[in-house]
Structure 1
Amino acid sequence: MTPATPSPSPARGPVDHEVRDQIVTAATGHFRLYGYEKTTVSDLARAIGFSKAYIYKFFGSKQAIGESICAACLRRIEADIRAAIDAVESPPEKLRRMFKAIVESSLRLCFGDRKLYDIAAAAAAGQWEVVDIHDRRIQEILLEILRQGRATGEFERKTPLDEAVAAIYLVMRPYLNPMLLQYGLDYAEEAPAKLSSLVLRSLSP
């Protein structure tokens, strides 16, 4: 008897990626309709036609699915900030544009779709890892701008860089955290200019 030739193993990577995307797309739709807290993994399984156990092969929990969606939203905010500051050369103007981009992008993503705000609020309240990563990236951008400003002589050099970054980040934080942002909506239009001007005065050499 001729031995059977073993079939080649299927390429799991691309297939897994497609399934993960399908789950995230279904989850995003459900979260928009019903909210993050009211949606269960069972709801998603029924919507996609998968078993609940199969979904757990790709995501260990509903939070893991939420983190994937949240991470994509936060990357868009970071991309908006990067585009805003890369469009100018002056470090002070970069800082002004960073404040403006943070407020505008956060408002658009968190409050343009109220149901997705639920995910952002859960992420902030639960201190999800994606939020910590996002906060570090914001501070890295701040550090980059401060270094440029000190190199050009436009910013003071007495304050330790880490202290300056931490202080400016605290000024920005109410517009990065959706739970805090909801209480500052009345001032969102004027806040970027006023706050950035205040910070820039403190950075004057």
Structure 2
Amino acid sequence: MTETLATSVGRGPTEHAVRDQIIEAANDCFARYGYGKTTVADLAREIGFSKAYIYRFFESKQAIGEAICSARLERILDAAKAAVDEGESAPEKFRRFFKVITNMGVELFFDDRKIYEIAASAAAEHWVSARAYADALRGMISDIVWDGREKGEFERKTPLDEACRAIFYAMTPFVDPLHLERNLDLLPDAQTELTGLILRSLAP
């Protein structure tokens, strides 16, 4: 495909489709060669576009990495939300939430290592996608704890924001891509035991 075809009115794909095409090619390149070793020039050759044309859609390689990282992290969040919805009690919701987040992080590490490296870079460099992911996790923790308090399943003495921050800090070694790699040998026991400890601390 040429740039002319991509931008021809009525014949080529829309700008959204071109962005998707660039992201798909980048995903393949990053998976094969790694994020750090892939350049925008490599992506341009892969798709048949010029670097200048790619920069019309993404201001940098990091912006492309952000798009890929956001999509992968969104999958994890969607799976976590589905797992939480299946839980009846707040403790069960939390167990499901923590387990899915951890398991999907481990799966990404072993099944798609090069893409995992993007997520780790995002966490290390505080990309927007990584911050949004952490915010979403904290939001889900808050919802679960609030629900548990409303049902009388969790204690109410500790301020909600303080309790949720502490839970997130405790979970971080197993849900943050930057830290997970260093703690793989502790799983699955650590995740199970930490879940029990957190739930006991929340008991009324």
Q: If the TM-score is normalised by the length of the shorter chain, which range does it land in?
A: over 0.9
Aligned to 1:3: none
Q: Counterparts in 2 of 1:124-139, with a 5 A limit? A: 124-139=123-138
2:164 match: secondary structure: helix
Aligned to 1:171: 170
Rounded Cα–Cα distance in structure 1 between residues aligned with 2:130 and 2:178: 13
Aligned to 2:3: none
Rounded Cα–Cα distance in structure 1 between residues aligned with 2:109 and 2:158: 34
Aligned to 2:116: 117
Structure 2: 5+ residue stretches without partners: 1-7
Aligned to 2:19: 20
Rounded Cα–Cα distance in structure 1 between residues aligned with 2:167 and 2:117: 27
Q: Is the 8 A contact 1:121 1:179 kept in 2?
A: yes
2:35 match: secondary structure: coil
Task: Identify which range, 183-192 or 26-35, moves more after superposition.
Answer: 183-192
TM-score, structure 1 length as denominator?
0.92
Whichever of the two has the greater Rg, that structure is: 1
Question: 2:179 matched to 1:190?
Answer: no
Counterpart of 1:195, as a letter, is L
Structure 1: 5+ residue stretches without partners: 1-8
Aligned length: 197
Rounded Cα–Cα distance in structure 2 between residues aligned with 1:162 and 1:66: 32
1:36 match: secondary structure: coil
Rounded Cα–Cα distance in structure 1 between residues aligned with 2:48 and 2:108: 29
Aligned to 2:94: 95
Query: Identity, % of aligned pairs?
Result: 53
Q: Is the 8 A contact 1:40 1:62 kept in 2?
A: yes
User: Alpha-carbon deviation of 1:127?
Assistant: 0.5
Q: Counterparts in 2 of 1:72-111, with a 5 A limit? A: 72-111=71-110
Rounded Cα–Cα distance in structure 1 between residues aligned with 2:109 and 2:187: 13
TM-score, structure 2 length as denominator?
0.92
Q: Is the 8 A contact 1:31 1:116 kept in 2?
A: yes
Rounded Cα–Cα distance in structure 2 between residues aligned with 1:171 and 1:147: 18
The structure whose residues are more often helix, as a share, is 2
1:44 match: secondary structure: helix
Q: Is the 8 A contact 1:96 1:192 kept in 2?
A: no
Aligned to 1:71: 70
Q: Is the 8 A contact 1:110 1:120 kept in 2?
A: no
RMSD of the alignment, in Å?
A: 1.7
Aligned to 2:28: 29
User: Alpha-carbon deviation of 1:172?
Assistant: 1.1
Counterpart of 1:181, as a letter, is L
Rounded Cα–Cα distance in structure 1 between residues aligned with 2:27 and 2:67: 10
1:149 match: secondary structure: helix
Rounded Cα–Cα distance in structure 1 between residues aligned with 2:52 and 2:190: 47
Stretches of 4+ aligned residues off by more than 4 angstroms: none
Rounded Cα–Cα distance in structure 1 between residues aligned with 2:197 and 2:107: 25
Rounded Cα–Cα distance in structure 2 between residues aligned with 1:43 and 1:55: 11
Question: 2:53 matched to 1:54?
Answer: yes
Question: For 1:73-92, what per-residue CA distance to the aligned partner results, in whole angstroms no more than 9, with x for missing partners?
Answer: 10011011111111111001
Q: Is the 8 A contact 1:84 1:101 kept in 2?
A: yes
2:182 match: secondary structure: coil
1:39 match: secondary structure: coil
Question: For 1:89-130, what per-residue CA distance to the aligned partner results, in whole angstroms no more than 9, with x for missing partners?
Answer: 100111111111111011112332111122112111111011
User: Alpha-carbon deviation of 1:178?
Assistant: 1.4
Q: Is the 8 A contact 2:174 2:191 kept in 1?
A: no
